[in-house]
Amino acid sequence: MTAPFEVSQTVSLGLAVVFGLFFGVSLERGGLGDPHKLTGVFYLRDFTVPKFMFTTIVVACIGLYLLSDLRLLDMDRVWIVPTFFWPQLVGGALFGVGYVISGYCPGTAVVGFASGRLDALVTIFGIGAGSLLFAILFPYLEGFYLSSDMGAATLPGLAGVNHWVVIVPIVAFAGGMFFAMEKYEKKESAR
């Protein structure tokens, strides 16, 4: 039997709580409940967010494709995040604006609130209100929301290359970026 597994609902929901606990501890211990740290990259004073995000992506990505290559995981049964090009480009940009203005993202707003920040609770209410607004405006947005449907498109799939041809440059880019950020931070702290 290869992964992912067909588990009972109880097991699945129990796992969700366990993964959520690790999710919370890693974000909190990474300092990602703090809006000053979360916005730091955009003001070139704290690079915690890109360091954290790219490490997460690289670790999970290498692991996922390695398990698939070793036939320990059936990639065909993994639910790939579907691509809707324009809604995700516009959504990503609006999200970036909201992120800088509030100083949180949805996950880190929960972490911020759990560490005592009342402004993060306000942001959580805002996120709820924003989703309600989307649902109310949905009749006008539906056409755009469903446009540019590319299904389970992946970078190696689109380029028609082996996944490692994409992974190696991403790892190299992340490594180069980390190196540059460390150098920049050392230079800034010496000033």
Partner 1 sequence: MQKKRFWSPYLAGAVLGATLLATFYSVGHGLGASGAITLVTAKGTFTIIPEFIGRLKYFAQYLTPVSPLINWNIFVLIGLFLGSLASALFTGNFKVLLDKTKTMRVSTRLITSLTGGILMGFAARLARGCSSGVALSGGAQLALAGWIFVIAMFAAGFIIAALLRRLWS
If 0-12 CB within 10 Å is exposed, 13-18 middle and 19+ buried, where does residue 49 land? Answer: buried
Tokens representing 176 are 């180069």
**What does the alpha-carbon distance between residue 46 and residue 42 come to, in Å, rounded to a whole number?**
8
Q: Which of 105, 83, 89, 133 is nearest to 34 (CA)?
A: 105
Least CB distance to partner 1 at residue 32 (A) = 8
User: Contact between 180 and partner 1 (CB under 8 A)?
Assistant: no
Contact 68, 3 (CB under 8 A): no
Among 1, 71, 118, 175, the residue binding partner 1 under the rule CB under 8 A is: 118
Q: Which of 126, 82, 81, 123 is nearest to 104 (CA)?
A: 123
Tokens representing 89 are 């480009």
Interaction with partner 1 in 123-152: which residues (CB under 8 A)? 123-136, 138-139, 141-142, 145, 150, 152
User: Contact between 184 and partner 1 (CB under 8 A)?
Assistant: no
Q: Which residue lies nearer to partner 1 by CB, 141 or 180? A: 141
Interaction with partner 1 in 40-69: which residues (CB under 8 A)? 40-43, 45, 47-61, 63-65, 67
Binding mask 85-114 for partner 1 (x = CB under 8 A): x-xxxxxxxxxxxxxxxxxxxxx-xxxxxx
Interaction with partner 1 in 71-90: which residues (CB under 8 A)? 73, 77-85, 87-90
Q: Which residue lies nearer to partner 1 by CB, 122 or 172? A: 122
Q: Which residue lies nearer to partner 1 by CB, 123 or 187? A: 123
- CA torsion sign for 34, 38, 40, 42 is negative
Q: Which residue lies nearer to partner 1 by CB, 81 or 187? A: 81
